[in-house]
A = this chain, B = another copy of it.
Amino acid sequence: MRQASNARKRVAILGASGYTGAELIRLLSRHPQADLVLLTGERHADQPVDAVFPHLGGLDLPRLVPMERADWAGLDVDVVFCALPHGTTQDVVSSLLAPNGTASTDTRPRLKGDAKVIDLSADFRLFDTDTYAQWYGHAHRAPGLQRTAVYGLTEFAREAIAAARLVACPGCYPTTALLPLVPALEAGAIDADNIIIDAKSGVSGAGRAAKEASLFAEVSEGIHAYGVAAHRHAPEIEQELSRAAGAPIIVNFTPHLMPMNRGILATIYVSLRNGWTADDLRRSLAERFTGEPFVRVVPKGVAPATRHVRGSNHCLVGVFEDRLKGRAIVVSVLDNLVKGSAGQAVQNFNLMCELEETRGLEQAPLFP
Asked if B259 and A260 sit within 8 Å, CB to CB, the answer is: yes
Asked if A30 and B260 sit within 8 Å, CB to CB, the answer is: no
Give A301 to B247 CA distance when docked, in angstroms: 31
Which of A57, A259, A321: most chain B Cβ within 10 A?
A57
Chain A, range 319-368, C-beta contacts under 8 Å to B: 320-325, 327, 329, 331, 333, 362-368
Asked if A250 and B210 sit within 8 Å, CB to CB, the answer is: no
A65 beta carbon closer than 8 Å to chain B: no
A283 beta carbon closer than 8 Å to chain B: no
Asked if A254 and B267 sit within 8 Å, CB to CB, the answer is: yes
Contacts of A92 in B (CB 8 A): none
Select one of B22, B208, B269 contacting A215, CB under 8 A. Answer: B208
Measured CB to CB, the nearest residue on chain B to A365 is B55
Binds B, one of A69-77, A124-132, A195-203: A195-203
Give A367 to B221 CA distance when docked, in angstroms: 10
Measured CB to CB, the nearest residue on chain B to A312 is B55
Other A-B contacts than A204-B368, A252-B323, A261-B368, 17 sampled, CB-CB below 8 A, are A57-B308, A194-B324, A194-B327, A196-B196, A208-B215, A216-B218, A221-B310, A222-B260, A222-B263, A225-B265, A225-B303, A229-B323, A234-B323, A252-B324, A254-B329, A256-B265, A366-B366
Nearest 3 CB-CB pairings of A with B:
A222-B307, A224-B305, A217-B368
Using a CB–CB distance below 8 Å, which chain A residues touch chain B? 19, 22, 25-26, 29-30, 53-59, 194, 196, 198, 200, 202-204, 208, 210-212, 214-226, 228-229, 234, 250-254, 256, 258-263, 265, 267, 269, 296, 298, 302-312, 314, 316, 320-325, 327, 329, 331, 333, 362-368
